[in-house]
Amino acid sequence: MTATAIETRADHDAAGEKVFNDLIAQDMRIEPRDWMPADYRKSLTRQISQHAHSEIIGMQPEANWITRAPSLKRKAVLMAKVQDEAGHGLYLYSAAETLGTPRDQMTEDLIAGKARYSSIFNYPVLTWADIGAIGWLVDGAAICNQVPLCRASYGPYGRAMVRICKEESFHQRQGFEILLELANGTPEQRAMAQDAVNRWYAPSLMMFGPPDEDSPNSQKSMEWKIKRFSNDELRSRFVGMMVEQIKVLGLDLPDKDVRFDEESGRWEHGPLDWNEFKEVLAGRGPCNAQRMERRREAHEDGAWVRDAASAYAARQAAKHTTKAA
């Protein structure tokens, strides 16, 4: 590179950085062709691809229950929910691709065990009430975390989140309704609902990520207005929502330490087992191996679809080339 070329590149970066900082300061959106710092691109690709993987892996625990759902209506609703999650994965992979990483690469990383997906999907789904608890607690936590992401500074991510959040609201309602019906059913059904809430409560609080003091990405992410609130702020907000909703269910939160702290204006909760969280992130949760194995199988089983789509695309492209000539 010549000295002038380097100078021009440096000038370009300096001008780009200024526009980027101004846009962030004015709460405006960064779009794919805009200049952005390499770390912003990297961190967004990390977060959005992890989010996409979570949606795709998240289909597994619920899909396992479609054939066992207790009525035709419940099967249809659950099937629609699982299909929604697939759609969320696709919007998010598309949003991540606008940052320059091809989707095939992201899939390879997931399958090779190099990429993360949400800790929550490494827990077993033992009863039908778990499907209610997942909808109510897991999708509830997802909404609480993701509504602020509708205002994320990166345009394609924020826009994808708007649609995702609308669908998550339905998901939460269906989970709540399953639990409500069980809570008002026979003593056995009620006990099953309480047991599911007991098992999913702590893992759903951990979905918000590690405590703020152990969250290496939060500070930069908040400066860049990707995240608008810290992990602990959102976790506390979620606890406050659950405290009210559990009253309607007539069940109990398995946490005697929940209380509103007037001084901080935050909901407090009991201690969480962060060692368990670390184990799950390290691939040693109850279902990590099973989820990854199933994902790899699905990828291999889908090879013929990818091959057929590529062959079709190549034929179409050849047709256009012939026509143009």
Among 118, 172, 194, 245, binds ligand BYC (CB under 6 A): 118
Among 96, 207, 249, 251, binds ligand BYC (CB under 6 A): 207
Binding pattern for the stretch 293-322 against ligand BYC, x by CB under 6 A and - elsewhere: ------------------------------
Instruction: Please tell me whether residue 145 binds ligand BYC under the rule CB under 6 A.
Output: yes
Please state, in angstroms and rounded to a whole number, the distance separating the CA atoms of residues 72 and 49.
34
Indicate the DSSP class of residue 117.
-
Looking up tokens 């897991």 gives 138
Start-to-end CA distance of the chain, whole Å, equals: 38
Among 40, 91, 128, 139, binds ligand BYC (CB under 6 A): 139
Instruction: Please tell me whether residue 156 binds ligand BYC under the rule CB under 6 A.
Output: no
Helices (H), the chain: 3-25, 38-57, 59-63, 72-97, 103-111, 128-133, 139-146, 155-183, 187-206, 218-223, 231-249, 274-281, 288-301, 303-324
Instruction: Please tell me whether residue 42 binds ligand BYC under the rule CB under 6 A.
Output: no
Q: How far is the CB of 141 from ligand BYC (least distance, A)?
A: 7
Which residues is 268 bridged to in the sheet? 259
Residues constituting the chain = 325
Instruction: Please tell me whether residue 209 binds ligand BYC under the rule CB under 6 A.
Output: yes
Do β-strands 259-261 and 266-268 pair in parallel, antiparallel, or remain unpaired?
A: antiparallel
Provide the 10 A C-beta neighbour count for residue 66: 16
Instruction: Please tell me whether residue 217 binds ligand BYC under the rule CB under 6 A.
Output: yes
The residue of the chain with the least Cβ separation from ligand BYC equals 58
Long-range contacts of 302-306, Cβ-Cβ distance < 8 Å, separation of 24 or more: none
Among 32, 35, 37, 46, binds ligand BYC (CB under 6 A): 46
Among 187, 216, 265, 271, binds ligand BYC (CB under 6 A): 216
Instruction: Please tell me whether residue 169 binds ligand BYC under the rule CB under 6 A.
Output: no
99: Cα separation from own chain's centroid: 18
84-103: which residues touch ligand BYC (CB under 6 A)? 85
Give 116 or 159: the residue with its C-beta nearer to ligand BYC: 116
Contact (CB, 8 A) for 119 and 57: no
**Tokens in use for 216?**
């290496």
Instruction: Please tell me whether residue 50 binds ligand BYC under the rule CB under 6 A.
Output: yes
232-261: which residues touch ligand BYC (CB under 6 A)? none
Contact (CB, 8 A) for 35 and 16: yes
Binding pattern for the stretch 51-90 against ligand BYC, x by CB under 6 A and - elsewhere: x--xx--x--------------------------x-----
Site size toward ligand BYC (CB under 6 A) is 29
Among 64, 105, 215, 290, binds ligand BYC (CB under 6 A): 215
Q: How far is the CB of 73 from ligand BYC (least distance, A)?
A: 20
Q: How far is CA 288 from CA 106, 113, 161, 276, in A?
A: 18, 10, 26, 13
By CB under 6 A, name the binding residues for ligand BYC: 46-47, 50-51, 54-55, 58, 85, 116, 118-119, 138-139, 142, 145-146, 206-210, 215-218, 221, 227, 231, 281
